[in-house]
């Protein structure tokens, strides 16, 4: 049993048809060989199905008290589906109908079976080769089909936690010294554009990779953050009273927040060609205007969400304090909202090249968590990250019939994984109770958020 789980369950759904070789339809012919003759039985159209299951699933979770269910935990589920589109189709076939040959001497009544299993992995066996892998290898607790949770936990903390600073005054002030350089870089870009439209290039060669990269960085990490900061300051000035009272209302109270960390769909065509794989050898130019065409697509859908319940405390937002309306607290509220506080995360962000470190690591997230504890007294009651990943291989086949409408068929194999991971600490996502200091433990116990 994997750590964090109390039970493992497995299930398989057998096909709606047995045995593996089934009849998908029948062929008929004219009894006298003339287009006006009656239809009589000719022969059956058999099909072979590779897998003995149409759906297999493994689920790992824990049992919680309820209903009502007031707590959750780690959850992991993987599902393998063979042609789920045919789940409720008779004998698992699609495109059921009547199709007549061009010379009117033969017709087919029935449907089309899935293509041979190897059509779902034409480059060789892979994770979609259900037949070769077998259920005993698919339904294991540890599998490469489990997507990595990576650093999503730290990102979840950063996105769901209370955000007291509505602008970045401290960082803006430190970076304002770069404005002259930004102006010079942008002016150089306008000069290069002028020369490219007929002007004279300098002997130093401005069209170099270094120049292009310099202009890109100037735009992405110079002007864009600069303009964004100006907008934030504008919003803060216009909405200061509203933002102040919102934080006052939330100060010292549990607040639940749900965010979407990633939503992504990537579609790729893996292979294509001509040929009738869903009814091999039967559909040629006597039936169709051209050969049947097929394509194999792969679609990967990924969704990552997080939900957490947080509490923070700042004395300047404590309305129960007699000094709440004092000028000092009003100044402190303004400093907090505008982001002019001198704290670890603002010093880190204003240090040159830390933005580059955040592109390749989550160091900034860790420093932010330290800042949350020391400066804003932020802790969480619970924090969960949920990731859903669905990979679909779709075999698309088109039959351009001469005497019937063009038929398009889609058969699929699906590998789907869903996982929920629980944060282990009130002060971060992956800390353990052994990592907490005595002060952290006392605060966590006082808040009633320790779960271990």
Q: Per residue in 322-376, pLDDT tens?
A: 888 898 888 888 877 777 666 666 565 655 555 555 544 555 565 665 656 556 6
Q: What does the pLDDT read at residue 334?
A: 80
Residue 354 belongs to a domain: yes
**Dihedral in degrees, nearest 10, Cα atoms 138, 143, 144, 149:** 140
Structure tokens at 288: 């169709």
pLDDT number for residue 258: 94
The pLDDT, as a whole number, for residue 190 is 44
How many angstroms separate the CA atoms of 96 and 305, rounded? 41
For residue 198, what pLDDT is reported?
45
CA gap 415, 144 in Å, rounded: 11
Of 46, 54, 41, 51, the C-alpha closest to 14 is 54
Report if pTM > 0.85.
no
Residue 1 lies in a domain: no
Residue 51 lies in a domain: yes
Residue 452, in any domain of the structure: no
pLDDT of residue 323: 87
Residue 2 lies in a domain: no
Report d(CA 121, CA 82) in Å as an integer: 13
**Helix residue spans in 339-415 (DSSP H):** 344-350, 354-360, 363-374
Specify whether the CB–CB gap between 249 and 162 falls below 8 A.
no
| Structural domain for 333, as ranges | 7-447
Is residue 84, in this structure, part of any structural domain at all?
Answer: yes
The answer to whether residue 368 is domain-embedded is yes
Spans of the chain below 70 pLDDT: 1, 15-20, 50, 86-92, 165-238, 280-282, 340-376, 430-452
Look at residue 435 and tell me if it is in a domain.
yes
CB-based contacts of 362, cutoff 8 Å, min separation 6: 151, 154, 155
Q: What angle do CA 185, 186, 188 make, to 5 degrees?
A: 65
Query: What is the count of structural domains for the chain?
Result: 1
Sheet-wide strand order for 75-82: 7-14, 53-61, 75-82, 407-422, 379-399, 293-311, 255-274
């Amino acid at each position: 049993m994997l750590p964090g789980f109390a039970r493992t369950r497995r299930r398989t759904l057998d096909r709606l048809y047995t045995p593996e070789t089934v009849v998908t339809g029948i062929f008929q012919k004219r009894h006298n060989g003339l287009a006006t003759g009656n239809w009589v039985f000719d022969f059956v159209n058999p099909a072979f199905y590779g897998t003995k299951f149409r759906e297999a699933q493994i689920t790992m979770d824990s049992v919680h008290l309820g209903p009502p269910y007031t707590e959750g935990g780690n959850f992991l589920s993987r599902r393998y589906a063979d042609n789920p589109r045919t789940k409720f189709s008779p004998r698992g076939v699609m495109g059921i109908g009547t199709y007549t040959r061009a010379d009117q001497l033969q017709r087919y009544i029935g449907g089309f079976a899935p293509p041979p299993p190897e059509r779902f992995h034409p480059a060789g066996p892979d994770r979609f080769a259900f037949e070769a892998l077998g259920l005993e290898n698919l339904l294991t607790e540890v599998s490469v089909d489990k997507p990595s949770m990576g650093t999503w936990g730290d990102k979840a903390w950063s996105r769901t936690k209370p955000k007291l600073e509505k602008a970045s005054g401290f960082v803006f002030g430190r970076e304002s010294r770069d404005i002259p350089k930004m102006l010079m870089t942008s002016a150089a870009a306008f000069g290069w554009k002028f020369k490219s439209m007929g002007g004279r290039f300098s002997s130093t060669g401005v069209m170099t990779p270094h120049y292009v990269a310099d202009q890109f960085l100037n735009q992405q990490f110079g002007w864009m953050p600069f303009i964004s900061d100006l907008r934030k300051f504008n919003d803060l000035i216009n909405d200061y009273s509203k933002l102040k009272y919102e934080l006052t209302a939330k100060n010292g109270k549990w607040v639940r927040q749900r965010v979407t960390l990633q939503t992504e769909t990537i579609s790729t065509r893996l292979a294509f060609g001509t040929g009738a794989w869903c009814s091999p050898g039967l559909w040629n130019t006597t039936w169709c205007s051209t050969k049947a065409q097929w394509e194999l697509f792969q679609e990967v859908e990924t969704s990552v969400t997080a939900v957490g319940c947080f509490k923070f405390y700042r004395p300047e937002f404590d309305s129960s304090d007699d000094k709440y309306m004092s000028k000092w607290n009003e100044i402190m509220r303004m400093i907090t909202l505008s982001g002019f506080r001198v704290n670890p995360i603002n010093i880190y962000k204003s240090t040159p090249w830390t933005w580059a470190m955040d592109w390749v690591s989550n160091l900034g997230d860790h420093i932010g968590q330290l800042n949350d504890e020391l400066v804003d007294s932020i802790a969480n009651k619970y924090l969960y990250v949920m990731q859903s990943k669905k990979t679909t291989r779709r075999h698309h086949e088109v039959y351009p019939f001469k005497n019937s409408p063009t038929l398009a068929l889609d058969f699929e194999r699906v590998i789907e994984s869903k996982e929920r991971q629980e944060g282990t600490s009130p002060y971060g996502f992956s800390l353990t109770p052994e990592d907490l200091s005595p002060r952290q433990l006392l605060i966590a116990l006082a808040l009633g958020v320790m779960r271990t």
